[in-house]
Amino acid sequence: MTLRVITDGTYSEPVQQALERVLADKVAAGDIGPTLRVWYRDAPAVPIGRFQSYEDEVATDYVERHDIDVVRRATGGGAMYVEPGAVLTYSLYLPPEDVPDDVADSYVYLDQWAIDALQAVGIDASYEPLNDIVHADGKLGGAAQLRTDGAVLHHTTMSYDLDIERMLRVLRIGEEKLSDKAVASAEKRVAVMTDHTDASRATIVDALVAAIGDTFETRRGSLSAATREAARTLAAEQFDTAAWTRKL
**Residues within the interface to other proteins (CB under 8 A):** 49-53, 56, 74-79, 103, 129-130, 144-148, 174-177, 180, 183, 248
CB nearer other proteins, residue 220 or residue 247: 247
Q: How far is the CB of 243 from other proteins (least distance, A)?
A: 16
Please state the separation of Cα 158 from the chain's center in Å.
Answer: 7
Compute the least distance from the CB of residue 178 to other proteins, in Å. 10
Which ranges of 29-102 does DSSP label H, i.e. alpha helix?
A: 54-57, 60-65
SS3 149: coil
Which parts of the chain fold into alpha helices (H)? Answer: 13-28, 54-57, 60-65, 103-120, 164-170, 175-179, 181-188, 201-215, 225-234, 242-245
- CB-CB neighbours of 12 under 10 Å: 18
Q: What angle do CA 88, 94, 98 make, to 5 degrees?
A: 120
Torsion sign across C-alpha atoms 111, 114, 118, 119? positive
Closest CB to other proteins among residues 158, 171:
171
Q: By C-alpha distance, which of 145, 53, 163 is closest to 106?
A: 145
- Nearest CA to 135 among 154, 111, 118? 118
> Cβ 104 to other proteins, closest distance in Å?
9
> Of 135 and 154, which has the nearer Cβ to other proteins?
154
137 vs 175 by CB, closer to other proteins: 175
Considering the complex, state which of residue 166 and residue 177 has its C-beta at the smaller distance from other proteins: 177
- Please state the closest distance from residue 195 (CB atom) to other proteins, in A: 25
**Smallest distance, Å, CB 6 to other proteins?**
25
Residue (177 or 189) nearer to other proteins, CB: 177
Helices (H) and strands (E) in the chain, counts: 10, 12
